[in-house]
Amino acid sequence: MKSFKRIAAILLAVLMAASLFACGAKTEGGDKPAPETAKKYVIASDNAFAPFEYLDTDTNQYVGIDMDILAAIAEDQKFDYEVQNVGFDAALNQVQSGQADAVIAGMTITDERRLTFDFSDGYFDAGQILVVPANSEIKSIEDLKGANVAVKISTQGADYAQSVAEQYGFTVTTYEDSPTMYQAVIQGTNAACFEDDPVARYSIQSQHLELKVVGDVINAKPYGFAAKLGENAELISMFNTGLANIKANGVYDQILAKYGY
């Protein structure tokens, strides 16, 4: 009986110590008072698509028109978010798999994408253009016969190139992101690539790439902020209201001007 009491006393002491320890641990970790109710949206984006999203190597932060528009709209509409710059194809996949709530990545609004995405109102118009080495003789898509053309996976440029490859007699190689696609053209692995017009021009100029744009802009269409079809309607609606507000108060124009528009 005595030993039973002793064991019980020891057990009680151990339990008390454990609960004290647990309390202590809780207090230590309790310095972030994030209320459970405040939703933090996860927004996926491209990893290299200047001037819309790109790493500022001085600050090690992602900057650009998309990043600034999103920040201004979130401030206007008072929502919390974090951006994951995972690359274009990965961003689309993250939204479809529910790992991210939405994507902002210079993403063209298309009827085909509307089958799987809900889009915001358009916030910038852009089409694709042919990009060739600075010393290339290629002047337009008609000159691509027999050429190997680089594209970036899941983009409008890739879709377009694949849709006309047979007609113009060229083959297509797919790359993961814009920088590797540009390098393939600069180094001569590919004779040309298709890229969004403002991105090609901005990247060539700001990074002094040995490339030039040729021919006409193809399929100019608006970019939109997108969520998985039927999900996050509230977020899309906040984006639209916020976009209208920052257009009305001049912030949208200031953002574009900052990047040369």
List residues near ligand GLN by CB under 6 A.
Answer: 46, 49, 88, 105-108, 152, 155-156, 196
Phi then psi dihedrals of residue 122, to 5 deg: -70, 145
**Nearer residue to ligand GLN within complex by CB, 71 or 153:** 153
Q: Report how far residue 141's alpha carbon sits from residue 169's, in angstroms, rounded to the nearest whole number.
A: 10
**Nearer residue to ligand GLN within complex by CB, 76 or 109:** 109
**Nearer residue to ligand GLN within complex by CB, 106 or 179:** 106
**Nearer residue to ligand GLN within complex by CB, 41 or 54:** 54
At 133, the amino acid letter reads P
Rg (CA), the chain: 25
Smallest gap, in angstroms, from Cβ of residue 25 to ligand GLN? 44
**Nearer residue to ligand GLN within complex by CB, 88 or 225:** 88
Helices marked H in 101-216 — which ranges? 156-168, 178-186, 197-206
Smallest gap, in angstroms, from Cβ of residue 196 to ligand GLN? 5
Structure tokens of 171?
Answer: 């083959």
- Residue 10's Cβ-side half-sphere holds a number of Cα atoms within 13 Å equal to 6
Smallest gap, in angstroms, from Cβ of residue 29 to ligand GLN? 38
Opening angle at CA 105, ends 99 and 109, nearest 5? 100
Q: Report how far residue 71's alpha carbon sits from residue 81's, in angstroms, rounded to the nearest whole number.
A: 9
Structure tokens of 214?
Answer: 């040729």
- End-to-end Cα distance, the chain: 87
**Nearer residue to ligand GLN within complex by CB, 152 or 228:** 152
Smallest gap, in angstroms, from Cβ of residue 19 to ligand GLN? 52
Q: Report how far residue 40's alpha carbon sits from residue 60's, in angstroms, rounded to the nearest whole number.
A: 22
Please report where in the chains the tokens 């009827």 appear, as a residue. Answer: 111
Smallest gap, in angstroms, from Cβ of residue 121 to ligand GLN? 16
Smallest gap, in angstroms, from Cβ of residue 199 to ligand GLN? 7
On whether the CB atoms of residues 128 and 196 are closer than 8 A, the answer is: yes
